[in-house]
Structure 1
Amino acid sequence: MKKLMVLMIALAMLLSACGGGGGNTASTDNKGSGGDNGKPVELQFYFPVAVGGPITKIIDGLAQDFEKENPNIKIKPVYGGSYQDTMTKVATAVQGNNSPDMAVLLSTDLYTLLSMKAIEDLTPRFSKDYFGNFYEAFLGNTKSGDTVWSVPFQRSTIVLYYNKDMFKEAGLDPEKAPKNWNELREAAAKLTKTDASGKVSQWGVEIPSTGYQYWMLQALSLQSGDNIMSSDGKQVFFNKPHVEEALQFYMDLGQKDKVMPNGAIEWATVPSDFISGKTAMMFHTTGNLTKVKTDAKFNFGVAFLPANKQFGSPTGGGNLYVFKNIPEERKKAAVKFIEFLTKPERVAQWSIDTGYVGTTKAAYETDQLKKYIESFPQAKVARDQLEYADSELSTYQNGQITKLFNDNIQAALLGKMTAKEALQKSQEAADGILKNFK
């Protein structure tokens, strides 16, 4: 009996030394030395591929570079398709108690993720100085109150792209983009061409009206005086006069002025139309800047979106999120990877490689981005426009509200509703959805 007790005590001590009864204990090695069992920490990193360009190769390269510096942390990118598809996959994984470790999702998914109690509070994970280096315009969609829930990563604004060669041919100054709505209308009229049969062979302007039409309308609304939602995700202002003015202008370009295709204009084909010469101007994300630079066979310019009462564009794009229901050692590893991705030199190179706006002020102080902007000044337009930018539409039940708003905007653009009817219908439906969150 005495020998048996001695053996049991010895076994207990051995198990204790090996961590045999422990749960997920946080690693104290700030170099990311791996899990408690000495094995590498592996992070599932969900990433959307929504804009043209070699994004997957860039992300794979960043993961490999990080692993060289942190050999005991392995990054496993999981490419989820569009932002919506990636969000669906993440939500399914969270609900199935199989949460990813981190993801790039739309910054506007914030309140949806909070409703699911899916994401980690990042406020105590980084210093105030760290967050202070990001452009203020990008921080709106990262916070709820004073709590920071994500880190800006592949961020954008909408900019005006224009074909300088077509401007010159039409007798317009190729170095002067339209600065306001009237100038946009006038330039678009001069740039719209018809063939002998009366069919339009070249459009003056294209503003997408599928997928992200709410984003385009939001830009026009900001230019008309104000945003379309409150900052707490609980209220929308779809039926306000400045939004109606914006939607009417959006509709008139196709229905009345006939300088833009009437009806549905596909988000994904607008850049192709611009590059192939089917349209002289386009409103689109700066995330397509590198693609246009690479593929366009003509001189092109990039400018602020034309003003109405003021300049304005919503921000857009994706943020880095860390998930709540994962072991502490993986949270620490995810934070380390975020720090790696947001170093000034990497933010600068990401902007150069993709066309997204550099999210930090320090990135624009790097030699590489300074030299790039000197040789390609179009790359600084989106950064400069941040002075007039505001948060993108983000509410509780954001997917549901965005869809109904998109549907009604499109109905107006197709001539099935007036601007007032589309916005009032959107407001009433959104109020019904959001009443439970007030």
Structure 2
Amino acid sequence: MKSLLAGLLLGLAAAATPAAAAPTKLTMYYPIAVGGPLTDVVDGMIKGFKTENPDVDVEAVYAGNYDDTRIRAISAIKSGQPAQLSVLFSIDAYDLIEQDLIVPFEEVATSEDDKKWLGSFYPALMANGKIDGKTWGVPFQRSTIVMFYNKDMFREAGLDPNQPPRTWDEMASAAKKLTKDGRWGLMIPTTGYAYWMFQCFAIENGKELMSADGTRTYFTDPAVVEALAFWRSLSAEKKVSPEGAIEWGTLRQAFTSGQTAMMWHTTGNLTAVKKEAKFDFGVAMLPANKQPGSPTGGGNFYLFKQAKPDERKAALKLIKYMTAPERAAQWSIATGYVGVSPASYETEALKQYGKEFPQAIVARDQLTVAISEFSTYETGRVRDALNNAVQAAVVGSKTPQAALSEAQATADRLLKPFQK
């Protein structure tokens, strides 16, 4: 009888004890478009977040490059699978808004601390994410395009290794001296992100490719056509760059193996170049023609609309954790991506790294002349048209004028419904 009573009391006590609340579950898709074992870095950040937030269970899913990640994340949402946040292209914002898939951060980041956090990022890195006065994307793995150059080859060619080219003319002249049998003076990728590389030339020639509201493009502006003609001239006339396509995915290896003395590439490859190069190399801002400049690039965090209120709050907590100055510094050192806030460069880790390896500071300094990456409504199809035009002109299958006229006609047709 006593044992029966004891068992009954124990059962009642257990029933009266509240069960531990189930953790809020988050699925985060993310891409990697540069070299290195960076999934390990992301996994480490997620582990640190879980330690501090045991009530949130995060599944971080590496999904390939940016296009692969967008497709996978959107497919998951449309098929009813849980996905609360993702790192996607900063230039995906218009498409994601059109598809009604994301919410502005202002709907979730409502406290004074949240608002202060939203204002803590570099303005140039926020430009792609701010549309119609709302913040749709928050910077995470962000970049500018920089010029990597082989200092040993500069010395061999009689060039000052501490004075990289500052103008198009200086770059072409240096590339001529650096080109010899089995080696090119300069390589700029034409596959992968041709539109992004071309945006550099257009900016440096004094013209932006799109309107601020994403409804118009200026591909046939004389300054834009002239910029593409200059890029084409590097291989066709000046003979300092190879004819044909130059692959985005293998250009870093071409540089580190000595096939080219200079290359334009994302700063997101900086750490990989540092590990692979067996020679003294420098990093410089891109050379100017009428003005200096580079587009920003890389990925932003987005909050998906279908997430429940508690999931949105947990997702915001995770994003704030991963963009905090300490993590932003860690990510910058691990990759070469820009620290997304001024505070990240005030951390001891990044201050010390910048002193030891000043190449890591160039992309940050270039933010003062950086503009938002090319993005419009119907951005995927408009961007494809521009990619095709740039590739056709640079390899010589079409003239710059003809190629850009075709791209402009496509953009006009696609963007007409969005023009007021």
Pairwise same-fold verdict (TM > 0.5): yes
Provide structure 1 residue ranges, at least 5 long, that are not aligned to the other structure: 1-16, 18-35, 195-200
State the SS of the aligned residue for 1:207. Answer: coil
Alignment partners' CA distance in 2, 1:150 and 1:287: 19
Q: What residue in structure 2 maps to residue 227 of structure 1? A: 208
SS at match of 1:76: strand
Is 2:246 the counterpart of 1:265? yes
Q: Which residue of the partner structure matches residue 95 of structure 2?
A: 112
**How many pairs were matched up?**
399
Q: 2:110 matched to 1:129?
A: no
Q: Deviations over 1:158-197 (max 9, x none)?
A: 0000000000000000111000000000000000012xxx
Could you tell me whether the CA contact under 8 Å between 2:329 and 2:344 is conserved in 1? Answer: yes
Partner of 2:70: 87
Contact 1:210 1:410 (8 Å CA) reproduced: yes
Match of 2:224 in 1: 243
Residue matched to 1:64: 47
Aligned to 2:10: none
Structure 2 gap segments, 5+ residues each: 1-15
Matched with 1:96 is: 79
Alignment map for 1:357-396 (pairs within 5 Å): 357-396=338-377
Letter in 1 for 2:44: G
Amino acid at match of 1:253: L
Partner SS state of residue 145, structure 2: strand
Give the distance between the partners of 1:91 and 1:239, measured in 2 at CA: 34
Q: 1:99 and 1:73 mapped to 2: Cα distance? A: 14
The structure 1 residue matched to 2:282, chosen from 298, 301, 304, is 301
Aligned equivalents of 1:431, 1:373: Cα separation in 2: 45
Aligned to 2:168: 181
Give the C-alpha shift of residue 128 in structure 1: 3.6
Q: Residues 244 and 419 of structure 1 are in contact (CA less than 8 Å); yes or no, is this contact kept in structure 2?
A: yes
Please, what is the CA RMSD of the aligned residues?
1.4
Report if the CA contact (8 A) 1:156-1:316 is conserved: yes
CA distance in 1, matches of 2:55, 2:363: 38
Deviations 1:23-64 (A, max 9, x none): xxxxxxxxxxxxx98101111010112211111000111111
Residue 38 of structure 1, aligned match among 21, 25, 42 = 21
Question: Within 2, Cα distance between the matches of 1:125 and 1:329?
Answer: 10
Moved over 6 A (4+): none
Is the contact between residue 26 and residue 82 of structure 2 (CA under 8 Å) also seen in structure 1? no
Cα distance in 1 between the residues matched to 2:201 and 2:139: 24
Is structure 2 residue 418 aligned with structure 1 residue 437?
yes
Q: Is the 8 A contact 1:157 1:314 kept in 2?
A: yes
Cα offset for 1:417? Answer: 0.9
Q: Which residue of 2 aligns with 1:321?
A: 302
Alpha-carbon offset, residue 358 of structure 1:
0.4
Question: d(CA) in 2 for partners of 1:91 and 1:254?
Answer: 40
Query: 1:191 aligns to what?
Result: 178
Deviations 1:133-159 (A, max 9, x none): 211111110111210011100000000
Match of 2:262 among 247, 260, 281: 281
* Contact 1:90–1:99 (Cα < 8 Å) also in 2: no
Deviation of the 1:99 alpha carbon: 5.0
Question: In the TM superposition, what are the counterparts of 1:412-431 in structure 2 within 5 Å?
Answer: 412-431=393-412
**Identity of counterpart residues, as a percentage?**
50
SS in 2 for 1:435: helix
Tell me if the contact between 2:139 and 2:300 (Cα under 8 Å) persists in the aligned partners.
yes
Aligned partners of 1:116 and 1:140: how far apart in 2?
Answer: 20
1:256 to 231, 237, 255: 237
Partner of 2:148: 161
* TM-score of the superposed pair, with normalisation by structure 2: 0.93
Q: Deviations over 1:246-273 (max 9, x none)?
A: 1011100011111001110000111110
SS at match of 2:248: coil
